[in-house]
Structure 1
């Protein structure tokens, strides 16, 4: 079967483990047609000979999609549980141990989400909206992120910054400690470094950076609070959303427990890691909802 741009495929040599979108077709050095692939649910970029690819039919895609949605719902349930506990705790303090009934309001942290994949960006924005996190999204190619990120920060003034897209480690280009062996890790690192020159305080602007198999240690050294991927594994497209939602809904007087953040994600500590960080949620009162006109 002829492989076309836009097809959903899997690699025979990897036992059809991951579904990919074909985003480009090229002639490789071996004069065979090569497909450039973006993970359909994971933030991985890869290339493969078209002979190694199998187009996945709709029934198989739907089966995998259902399994994936079940995992997402479980993570979302944990996140909502955490948020409900935080609300109850904040209500207790805001009302002086329930000694008065004054209503209060919450201001969760604002997120600026830079994504190298427009389809993933839209998926993330939909989930942010569902959870209730205020967010601004910007599609930006990974190579352009170091130069564009500062103007976007000035424009949107976020509390939390997400720098993500697609990445991959290639052992043929170097060992795991060599930043040049990664597809886009160096661009993520440069973007984080540029931001930290402007906002050096780790609690003034919280940063998540990275994608599948990204160079975790370099991203943390550059100034990211949370990053991927400690074990160089693939991360799910929506994992950054669960990380920043937890931070957005944690009061600024409290510190985010790293494990409590990771346990809500799909890839957990193998795919994601971070450092102790303050939350960014603020509580105020009184709350007087506007009456309907």
Structure 2
């Protein structure tokens, strides 16, 4: 029997002793994971990758939930009142959306006033899965409505890597911080070329966040903080990855957990201006040893 299996058996026995058959026990969600499950703390023990019933919606870190114990525990529902949607935020979103009342076609000209003949249509990708359409018209009987201003942009890393001993580490698959084996501390980095600064050119940046997932099988399963830094590389260096501002512990994740960190205003400004180009992690020793994937940066413009 593996240590993980033994620990799971103890956790289930503890849960079963604290509730009647068919009942539930309370637990706290530690992290949402990359595969749709959650990590929960139940009876003082961390359970990883617990599946959730459809009744548990709008899942968040630190939720208190009802868990049905058994050979395979399941989160049934959230404890406490239902979360209320931010109606003001939703109203702002609706105001920024251009709407089309109706789509019709035919072989003759449309009836009614205000129509303009579109001679040539133009289309382009605007990022984040959005498409812009522009119609070149023969003449204008009414001015064109203004296009909504861009509210944000999502930037994915073009590459990532790991360094140890002053050079790239071919033995690690994902950016890693710390030292698990005593062979030296690792550091990892995410690289974006000039994409972040290009997206921010001519715009006012209100907020910048970055999303990460903690890799399973890297260090202990409990939450460990990411030690984040800035760097000024557009691509992975062949020698040491030098670090700039940091560390900032903006996010802690358990094994498999996914989370989003809001970057400090000073970091946001440097990345937007192009004086810094990307993000890195570094830690000393085994305590916070962990590997991470992701690195998608979301920029909100004002």
TM over 0.5: no
Q: Which has the higher strand share?
A: 2
Q: Tell which structure's C-alpha radius of gyration is larger.
A: 2
Structure showing the higher helix proportion among its residues: 1
